[in-house]
Structure 1
Amino acid sequence: MPLCFDPFDSCLYRGRTPNVTSAIERPPVLRAILSFFGTIFTFVTMGLAVVALSIGAVFWIYGRELPSHESLAQYKPPTISRIYSGEGQIIDEFAKERRLFVPADEIPDLVKQAFISAEDKNFYHHSGYDARGIAAAGVEAIQSRGRDVRGASTITQQVMKNFLLSGDRKIERKIKEIILATRVEETLSKDQILELYLNEIFLGQNSYGVAAAAQTYFNKSLSDLEPHEAATLASMPKAPGKFHPVRNYDRVLSRRNFVLKEMSENEYITVATYESEAAKPLRSVQNGDFDSFRSTLPSRDYFTDEIRRQLSQDFGEDEFFSGGMTVRATVDPEMQKIAAHALQRALEKYDRSLGLWRGTRESLPLEVLGDEATWREALASVDVPRDVDLEGRWYPAVVLEVGKNDARIGIEGVEDDADGHFIPAKDAQWARKVLSDGSRGKKATVAGDLLEKGDVVLVRRMTQDDDGSFIRWTLRQVPEVQGGFMAMDVNTGRVIAMQGGFSYQDSVFNRATQAKRQPGSSFKPFVYASALDSGYSPATIVIDAPIEINTPQGVWRPRNSSNKFYGPTPMRTGIEFSRNLMTIRLAQEVGMDVVADYAERFGVYENMGQFLANSLGSEETTLFKMVAAYAMFGNGGERVEPTLVDRVQDRYGETIYRHDQRDCTDCDNPAIAEDRSPRILSNRERVMDGITAYQLTSMMQGVVNRGTASSAIDLPVPVAGKTGTTNEAKDVWFVGFTNTLVAGCYIGYDRPRPLGRGTYGGNTCGPVFQEFMEEAIAKYGSGKFRVPPGGHFIKIDRFSGARLANDASGANVVAEYFRDGEEPIFGITYDGGFAMGANLPLVKEVEAYGGREVTTSSGKKAVVGPKADFGTLSSGGLY
C-alpha cells in the first residue's frame, strides 16, 4: 500500500467518493504552496512546544530547591529596641538596622500609592511578575547595548529578592524571583506583601522601612507626611546609596517630581496637587530644614549603655538589637543629670588642684585655619567629647592665633563676632603644661605657655553667678582621674542614677559596674555585721593596740591612719573612726570564714579570700555590688536585687521581664479608700537579723555625725554610711544611705596610683554624695530608720563603753539598741588573740611608728618611716 504524504491525496478518501476538487485535479503550484505552509506550521508548532518544554524544565529545575515562601507569613523583621524613662520618654534606641515596623493597615494610603507609582504601577493587577515590564526592560537593554539595564522587578519580586534571595544581577536569580513571586501571590494578600516591602526596604542613611526613613529625612511620622515627602521616600529605592538629599539634591529632586507625576497619572493625586507639590523645594533633616530625631534624644550615657550590656547578656545580642524590645528603665533623668554633675565636679576639682594642662592632645593642620568653613568642617570631625555640660556646655574649639597675652579661638557651633573669641592670659595661669616627654613646663603666665596654633581644646562660657552675664571663655579639660557613682532605692533595688566616668563620649568604660577596685574601709561594715550577729554589741570593748602577723611576704604590722593606738575602745567608736587594728582583731575573733560568708551573702564577692588583710577591704569588687549590699543595711536586712530595668516587652507588647515580683493584694480593687495605698506583700529573703541591721545602721550614723565623714556630709535627715581609703589613697570611697535611697562613689586613676596626701574618701567622695542627696531627699523624701521590734535602748559612754543612767546626756552619751533577753555584760574586752602587743611600741611611741631619726643633708634632724612592706603598702584598705 503506497504511503500518503499529501493531505489532499485521494488515498485519504479510500472507500469514499472523491471530491471533484481532489489533489489530482489541483494545480502543482497550489500544492507546493500548501505544502510549504504546512511545513512552516509544523516547525512553529514543534518549536513552540520545545520552547514551552524548555521553559518549563528551567522553571522546574530552579524551582526545586528554592527557600520556602511560606515563612514570610511568620516573618519578624529586625526592629529597633527602645529604652524609655519612667515618664515614658524615649531616652535611647539600639539597632543594627534602624527599622520601625508598621502594620499595613497603619501605613497611610498616600505612602503606599507613592511607592506603587514609583516601583510597580500594576501591583494590584499582576500575579507576581509583569511580563510587559520585563519585555520592555529587555528591549531597552538591547537598544542601549547593555548600558541601560533595569530590573523590571515588581514589588513582589523585590520582596523575594530582599527576603529569600541574593541581590546579584544574574538570570538565575531573576528566574527564582518570578517563581517565588507567583507562589507568594497565592499565599499572601497584596496588602501583606506591601507590608513586608515597605517595612524591609533600605532607604539610605541606615534607615530600613518607611517609618524609620520618615524620621530620618523629615523627623515626622508617616501620617504627617505631605505628598512631596512621600514621593521623596519613594524615590530612594532606585539608588539609596546615591540619593542623598544634599549631595545629590538635583538628582533626588528630579526623581521625586517623576514620582509625583506618576501619582498624578495614576489618579492618586490631582493635577493641581501634582503641580503644587512639584514646585516645592526638597526639604530634609540633612539640609537643616528639620531638627533630627536623634537631636531630641539625650546623649547616650553610661546608664543606657549598661542596660544594653545587661540585656544583651540576658537575651542575646541579636535579640536585643533586632527584637524590637520596649524597655522601661528605672532611671530618673533629673537625678541622673545631678549625679553626673556631682561626680564631674569632684573629678574636675581634683584635676585642677594638680595644676597640670594636658588639653585634648588633638590638633588641626595649620593650612586649614585660614578659611572658616574649612576649619569648622575639620573641627567637626575631631573625636573629642561633646556631652559635657558641667556649669555650662563644653565646646570643642581650635586655636587660630596665639598672641603675646591671649589666644584667639574658633568655637564649634558658635559664630564669630566682630572681635572674635579669646582665651585671656589669666585663664591659663593656674597650670603648667605637660610636655610630650611627660615633663612639666613652667607655670603659665600667658595663654601661649599652654596653647599652640592649631590645638583643639575644650572651652565653656564663664558667667556671673548673680545674673548669668558672660565674662570670658575658659579652658577646660577631661580629668585624667576617673570614678563612678550610683544611687538606688533601698527597698526595690531600682537604680535611679549611674555615672561611670567623667564623660561617656570620652570613655565608654563604666567604672560603676566594670571597674574592680579595692573598697578599703568601706568594707568594714561587713566585718562588724558578722561580729554583731556573733554575740557582740555596739558597746563591746575591742583592743586598739599594735599587731604583728607573720605572712609569706614577711611580718605585717598594720596601722591606723593616724599612726596612733587608742587602747580599749567600744565597737561603735571603732567603726566611726575607722580603726584598722580593731577591725583586724574582730575579724580574727569572729573568724575570716564567717566574715567571708557575710560578704558573699551580701553579694560583695562570689568567693572571698579568707585573709586578714581582706577585712580591711584589700580584695577588689565593684561599686555596683557595694551599693547593692549597703541597700540591705538600709532596708532592715532584706535581700534586694539591683536593677536598671523595670520591665521589658517584646515587639508584640508581651511582658518578658518584670523586676518587681511582689504581690499587690488589692491593686485592682476599685473600692480602696482614697487615703490608703494598695497593700504590697514582700517576699524578700532576709539576709541578716533586723536588730543587727539597725545596730549597724546606728553605728554608721556615727560615721556621718562625728566620724570620718562628718566634715563632708550634712543632710537634714538621718544618714548612715562609711568612708573608704586604700593604701596611698589609690582608691577613695564613700557609700551611704537614708531609709529610702543608697548612693556610693569611688574615685581613682584607671591604672591605680596614689592620689596624693590629704586625699580621703570623706573629703573627695563625700561631697559627691552630699550634692546628690540634697536633691534626692528633696524629691524622694526620707525619715528616721525603722526600729525593729524585740529590743530596747540603753545609754552608754561611747568612749569607754560604760553603762550610763537613763537620764544621762552629753556629747559622750549614745543610746544603743540591745536585744530583749540578752542584757549586755559590760567590761569584757576582746583582743582577737593578739593580746596587747607588749613587745611592740606603746601608744605614745607610735606617732612615728617604726621610724628612726636621721640627719638630713641640711644638717637637720628628721624621722623617716621603715622600709615598705606587705603591711604598709600592699595590704589594701586602711581608713
Structure 2
Amino acid sequence: MAPNELRADRPLAGDRIPATPVAGGPPKSPPRPPVPKRRRQNPFGFFGWMWRIGVILAGTMVVGGGVAAFGFYRAAIAELPDIQWLTTYEPPQMSRIYAADSRLMAELATERRIFVPIGAIPRRVQQAFVSAEDQNFWTHSGVDPIAIARAALTNVENLSTGRRAVGASTITQQVAKNMLTGNDRTMLRKLREAILASRIETAMPKSRILEIYLNEIFLGAQAYGVAAAAQQYFSKGLDDLTVAEAAFLAALPKAPNNYNPLRYPDAARSRRDWVIDRMLDDQAITLAEATTARAEPLQARPSRRPDFVPVGQYFTEEVRRELVARFGTEQTTMGGLVARTSLDPTLQAGAEEALRKGLFAYDRRRGGWRGPVARISASSTDWLPQLEQVARPPGALPGWHLAVALEVRNTEARMAWIARADPRAAAEPRTMTLPLDDVQSWAKPVQPGGRLGGSPRRMQDVLSPGDVVMVEVEPATPAAGRNRGSPEHLSLRQLPNVEGAIVALDPNTGRVLAMVGGFSFERSWFNRASQAQRQPGSSFKPFVYLPALELGIPPNQRLLDAPIEIATPQGLWRPGNYAGTSNGWVTMRSAIERSLNLVTVRLAQEIGIERVAATAARFGVIDNMPRYLAMALGSGETTVLRMAAGYASFANGGKRVEPTLIDSVQDRFGRLVWRPEGRACPECATRPFQDGPPELTDTRRQITDPIAAYQMTSLLQGVVQRGTGGRAATGLNRPIAGKTGTTNDYVDNWFVGYTPDLVVAVWLGFDDPQTLGNGETGGGNAAPIFRDVVEAALGDSPPVPFRVPPGVALVRLQTDRGQTITEAFRPGTENSARPPPNDADLFGGDANAAVPDLPPAFGVPGVQGNPGAAQRRLGDLY
C-alpha cells in the first residue's frame, strides 16, 4: 500500500475514538464534563440599587437641565422690548434757543448729540468703527460665534494674569444693550441681548443698525455720536476727518475716559494705531494710508462751544420753563427742538446796563458801605495764596477784581489783586491806589438797625489792612478831578441789595424784546419780571381813569380833590395825596398828571369799583381784583410783565395784548410744531410770489375803543411832559407816554411807559418788601431807567407820533396851570365838561343826571343811571 493511501479502518487525524464501541450503531461521543452552576445575583442588591439610582439621577438632571434651560429662556424673552420702534427711532438731540437775530442763546441737552443719517457719514468713518468693534458686522446675524470663541480662549489664557475679561458683543448687541436691555452684568441680560440682537437683524437692514449705533454711542467729553465727537475733539465735520482721526474716534467706545488724548496721550495713540492696523487687515485702507496715519501726530483741538448771546439769562430761563410746560422735560432736552424767540440782544444789553446803573445809583445814595467780602493777611508774602482762595461773590461783574488792602493811609489805600488775561495763565499781582475821594461821598458805614453813619473822613473809616473788596479799574475822566496824570483810576465796588426788573415789548404784537429779572442771574434765578407779585401803586391809576373815558367823561372834566373818609370794617380809611395837601376842583388831566390820590378814589367811587375791576381783568393786569376802593390806588398785586402788556393796549388802539417770548418752535426735522395764537398765515406757503404778500387777519380782541385808548395816551403824555414822569423823557426828543408808581412807605417804585412802537415797564424794590427810604419815588428811580432803555432801543431813529384814530376831536385849550395843549375828545363832548358845582357831587349838577354807558361791544358791565348813586354806601364795598 502506498504510503499515502488511506485506510478505511484507521481514523483520520483528529477524529475522536470512542472509548467503548457500541454494537449495532455509530460510536457515541463521550459526555461533556459538568459545568459548574453560576450563582444568580439578587436584583435588589446594593449594586443594582446604585445602578438604578444613577440612571434616575442622570435622567432627572437631563430633564431638570432642560426645564431650567427652558425656564431661563422664557425668563429671558419675558417682557423683552418690542424692537419695532427702533425702525423709526431717532437718537436724543439737544434743543436750541435762538434770538430774534438768529444768534444762539442756549442749548438744552441731557446728551450733547448731533444726529447724522448714515448716508452722510463717510464710509471710512463707518469702517473704522466696524474694524474696531465688530469685524464680521456685515456678515453675522446679530451674534458672532467666532468672536465668542476667540474671546473665550483669550479669557482662559488671562485667568492667571488677572486681566479684565474681554467681550465679544457685536455692534448689533451693543445697540440692543444701549437701547433696550440695560447695562447690568448678568447672564440673563446677555441672553436677552443675544435674542434681541437676532431679532433686530431680521427687522432692519445693517445700515440702519449702524446708523443708530454711530449716533447713539458715547465717545467721552460729553459727546454722543460721531458728529458731536468730531466737533469736540478736532473741531471738524465728519467729511474733514483724516484716517488717523477717524481711527481715534473708533478707539473711544471701549473706554472713552481712558483714551482722552489730553490726559492720556500715549494710551490714546496706542489704541488709535491698533484701530489703524485692524482697518488695514480688513482692507478698508491701503498700506500707504496706514503708514501715513500711524505717523500722524494725535493732536486734539477741542472745539469751543458756539458763541452764545452773552445777555438775557432771565429771558432764556423763562423760555426754557415755557418749553417744558408745553412739551415736557424729555422733549425739551432730548427732542431736538428749535425755539426762535423775540429777544433783541442789543436792546437786552441796554436794558441790563440801564438796570444796573439805576441800582448802583440807588445803592450809593441809600445803601451805605456794608463791609469787605473777606479778611486775609496783608503780609507781602501771604496775601497772594490767601486771596486766590477767596470765592468771588456771585453776581460780581466781569470787570471787577477781588483786591486786598495792603496798606491804608488817611487819604488812600494801596490795593493788590491778581490779574489774569487767561484763567489758565499764571497769577500776575497788580497794585494800584484807591483814593479817599472815590468813597467819601457814598461809603457811609451801616450802623446796627440799618441806619447809615456819617461820611468817612479818612480811608481808615472804610478799609483796614487785609480787607478783601471788589474794585474796578476805570478810565480817567476829567470831571472826576482826580488822578489827572494817570490814564485810569481805581473805584470801590459792592453788590447792591436792592433789586429791579424790566420788560420791553412790542405793543402791536406782544413780542417781548427784552426781559431783565434782577441784578444778576448768577446771584438769583428768581425772575422778578414775571414771577414777583408786587403792588403797582399809582401806575395802576390809568385803569381807573380809562372807564371814565369810556363812559364819555371828557379829559377836562373837573373833579374834586378834597379829603374823604370811607367806612371800612377796620374803621375809617382816610386816603391822602403824596404831598399831604388837596387842591379843590381840578381837571381829570391835572389829576393824573399830578397823581392825585384823592381824585382817583372819588372817581373809582363814582364809576364803581366793579367797573375798575372789570377793566383790570380785561387788560390782563389783575384777573380777580378784590372789590375795595383801596385797589384804585394800586394796592393789588401784579407783575412787571402784566403791567407792560396792559399799557400796550393803550399804545395799539385798544387791542388785547398777550405777551409772548417764543415766535415759533420747530422739531428736529424743521417742521413747525407751535406758534403763538393770532400769527397763523395759511396763505404764506401757497400764495404765488407774483400775487404779492398775503393779507393777514387781525384776530386780537378789542378791549377798549380806540378813542378812549388815545385819550388815555394823551393823558399819559401829559404825565411825562408836565407831571411826575418828567425824567422819563429827558433828552429823548420824541413822544413818550407813561405813569409813575410809588406804594405806601416807598416800598415799590414803578414807571410804565411807551412810545408808538415800544412799551417798557420798570420796577425797583427789595425782595423782602421794605421801604426804599423817604422820598424814593418811581419818578426819581424808575423813570431814569426807562429813559435809558428807550434810548438804547431807539437811539437816533426819527421820532414817531402817536396814531390818532378816526373820529377824535382835537381841541386847543388851556390847562389848570395856563399851558396851551391839544386835548382829545369824543365827538360831541368837546363842550360837555361841567363846571364845579356848589354841592359835593363829584361831577356837579343834578345828582340824578345820567352818565353815558359804554357800548356793550367792549364787554364792560354797564351802570344804569348815575353811577355815583349806585355807590353811595361805601361800607357795602368791603
Deviations 1:440-485 (A, max 9, x none): 7883844894366484x54433124699995144333321111101
Asked if 1 retains the 8 angstrom alpha-carbon contact of 2:554 and 2:826, the reply is no
Secondary structure at the counterpart of residue 237 of structure 1: coil
2:72–2:188 CA contact under 8 A, matched in 1: no
Pair 1:132 & 2:125 matched: no
Q: Quote the Cα distance in structure 2 between the aligned partners of 1:449 and 1:713.
A: 37
| Residue 48 (structure 1) shift | 12
- Which residue pairs with 1:813 in the alignment? 820
Task: Give, in angstroms, the shift of residue 738 of structure 1.
Answer: 1.0
Q: TM-score scaled to structure 2, two decimals?
A: 0.80
Q: Aligned equivalents of 1:367 and 1:152: distance in 2?
A: 63
* Partner in structure 2 of residue 861 of structure 1: none
For each residue in 1:278-329, what CA deviation from the matched residue of structure 2 results, as whole angstroms up to 9, or x when unmatched?
4455444xxxx55521555536611111101112112222221222111011
Partners of 2:214 and 2:797 lie apart in 1 by 46
1:422 to 428, 432, 454: 432
**Correspondence 1:194 to 2:201:** no
Distance 1:447 1:230 in 2: 64
Amino acid at match of 2:690: A
1:777 matched residue in structure 2: 794
* Aligned alpha-carbon RMSD (Å): 3.6
Q: Which residue does 2:347 correspond to in 1?
A: 335
Output the CA distance in 2 between the equivalents of 1:241 and 1:425: 52
Q: Establish whether residue 88 from structure 1 lines up as the match of residue 102 from structure 2.
A: yes
CA pair 409-823 structure 1, distance change in 2 beyond 3 A: closer
Shift of 1:355: 5.6
Q: Does 1:493 align with 2:514?
A: no
Match of 2:632 among 615, 633, 646: 615
Cα 1:449–1:819 shift into 2, 3 Å: closer
Shift of 1:826: 2.9
CA shift at 1:226, angstroms?
Answer: 3.7
Map 1:605-684 onto structure 2 (within 5 A).
605-659=622-676, 661-662=678-679, 668-671=687-690, 679-684=695-700
**Which residue does the alignment assign to 2:133?**
119
Q: Distance in 2 between matches of 1:126 and 1:166?
A: 22
Q: Tell me the alpha carbon deviations over residues 717-745 of structure 1, each in whole angstroms, 9 at most, x when there is no partner.
A: 21111111111211101111111111111
Cα 1:595–1:833, aligned 2, differ >3 Å: closer, same or farther? farther
169 and 370 in structure 1: CA distance in 2 versus 1, 3 angstrom threshold: farther
Deviation at 1:516, TM superposition (A): 0.8
Alignment correspondent of 2:866: none
Distance 1:431 1:416 in 2: 34
Spell out, residue by residue over 1:490-523, the C-alpha distance to the aligned partner (whole angstroms, 9 max, x if none): 1011111111111111211111101111111000
> Structure 1 residues 780, 158: CA separation in 2 closer, same or farther (over 3 Å shift)?
farther
- Map of 1:381-396 to 2, 5 A cutoff? 384-385=394-395, 388=397, 393-396=398-401
Residue aligned with 1:680, SS: coil
2:774 & 2:464 partners in 1: Cα distance? 30
The SS at the match of 1:765 is helix
Alignment of 1:14-93 (within 5 A): 58-59=72-73, 61-93=75-107
| Residues 1:148 and 2:148 are matched in the alignment | no
Tell me the number of residue pairs that the alignment of Structure 1 and Structure 2 aligns.
767
Alignment match, 2:416: 408
Which letter maps to 2:520?
A: S
Q: Secondary structure at the match of 2:253?
A: helix
* Distance 1:831-1:531 versus aligned 2 partners, 3 A rule: farther
Q: Do the aligned partners of residues 828 and 618 (structure 1) sit closer, same or farther apart at CA in structure 2, a change above 3 Å counting?
A: same
- Which amino acid in the other structure matches residue 432 of structure 2? F
1:754 Cα deviation after fit: 1.1
Q: Hey, what's the Cα distance between the residues in 2 that align with 1:232 and 1:658?
A: 43
Change (3 A) 1:419 1:704: same
1:213-252 maps to which residues of 2 (within 5 A)? 213-252=229-268
Per the alignment, residue 6 of structure 1 pairs with none
One-letter amino acid of the counterpart of residue 222, structure 1: L
Offset at 1:773? 1.0
Query: Alpha carbons of 1:655 and 1:409: their partners in 2 closer, same or farther (altered >3 Å)?
Result: same
Q: 1:481 aligned to 2:488?
A: no
Cα distance in 2, alignment partners of residues 305 and 740 from structure 1: 26
Matched with 2:767 is: 750
Match of 2:816 in 1: 799
Higher mean C-alpha displacement, 108-117 vs 356-365: 356-365
Q: Specify which of 539, 555, 565 is matched with residue 582 of structure 2.
A: 565
Hey, what's the Cα distance between the residues in 1 that align with 2:401 and 2:281? 52
SS in structure 2 of the partner of residue 214 of structure 1? helix
Cα deviation, residue 348, structure 1: 1.3
Matches within 5 A, 1:94-113: 94-113=108-127
| Whole-angstrom distance in 2 between the partners of 1:834 and 1:446 | 63
Structure 1, gaps ≥5 residues long? 1-46, 801-810, 837-879
Choose the corresponding residue for 2:192, options 170, 176, 179: 176
Inter-partner Cα distance in structure 2 for 1:585 and 1:511 = 32
Q: Name the stretch that deviates more: 263-272 or 172-181.
A: 263-272
The one-letter amino acid of 2:125's match is: V
Distance 1:48 1:554, change over 3 A: closer
SS in 1 for 2:703: coil
What's the CA shift string for 1:101-153, capped at 9, x where partnerless? 22222223343233223222222222112222222222232222264212321
Say whether 1:790 aligns with 2:804: no
Deviations 1:528-548 (A, max 9, x none): 001111231101111001111
Aligned pair partner of 2:833 in 809, 817, 826? 826
The equivalent position to 1:740 in structure 2, one of 734, 757, 762, is: 757
User: 2:543 matched to 1:526?
Assistant: yes
What residue in structure 1 maps to residue 851 of structure 2? Answer: none
Q: Structure 1 residues 63 and 580 mapped into 2: Cα distance closer, same or farther (>3 Å)?
A: same
The structural deviation recorded for 1:680 is 3.2
Counterpart position of 2:847 = none
The match for 1:324 is 336
Deviations 1:125-182 (A, max 9, x none): 2211222222222223222226421232111111111111120111211111111111
Q: Given that residues 553 and 833 in structure 2 are in contact (C-alpha distance below 8 angstroms), is that contact kept between their aligned partners in structure 1?
A: no
For residues 384-418 of structure 1, the C-alpha deviation after alignment (integer angstroms, 9 at most, x for no partner) is 336x4xxxx42453538556531211145466797
Q: Structure 1 residues 826 and 274 mapped into 2: Cα distance closer, same or farther (>3 Å)?
A: same
Cα displacement (A) at 1:243: 4.3
User: Are 1:765 and 2:782 matched, yes or no?
Assistant: yes
Cα distance in 2 for residues equivalent to 1:280 and 1:207: 23
Task: Note the C-alpha offset of 1:703.
Answer: 0.6
Change (3 A) 1:270 1:753: farther
Partner of 2:276: 260
d(CA) in 2 for partners of 1:81 and 1:687? 37
Match of 1:166 in 2: 182
**Partner secondary structure for residue 618 of structure 1:** coil
Separation (CA, whole Å) in 2 of partners of 1:48 and 1:400:
86
Instruction: Note the C-alpha offset of 1:365.
Output: 10
Gap runs ≥5 in structure 2: 1-60, 479-483, 844-878
TM-score normalised by length of structure 1: 0.80
Between the aligned partners of 2:256 and 2:400, the Cα distance in structure 1 is 34
Q: Whole-Å Cα distance in 2 between the matches of residues 130 and 366 of structure 1?
A: 70
Q: Secondary structure at the match of 2:627?
A: coil
SS in 2 for 1:238: coil
Report SS of the residue matched to 1:424: strand
Q: Which amino acid aligns with 1:214?
A: A
User: Which aligned pairs between 1:320-469 and structure 2 lie closer than 5 A?
Assistant: 320-354=332-366, 356-358=368-370, 361=373, 378=389, 384-385=394-395, 388=397, 393-397=398-402, 399=404, 401=406, 405-411=413-419, 413=421, 420-422=430-432, 424-426=434-436, 427-429=438-440, 430-432=442-444, 443=456, 445-446=458-459, 449-450=462-463, 453=466, 455=468, 457-464=469-476
> 1:711 aligns to what SS in structure 2?
helix
Stretch deviating more after TM superposition (766-775 or 434-443): 434-443
Q: 2:176 & 2:168 partners in 1: Cα distance?
A: 14
The worse-fitting range, judged by mean Cα deviation, of 334-343 and 259-268 is: 259-268
Q: Secondary structure at the match of 2:284?
A: coil
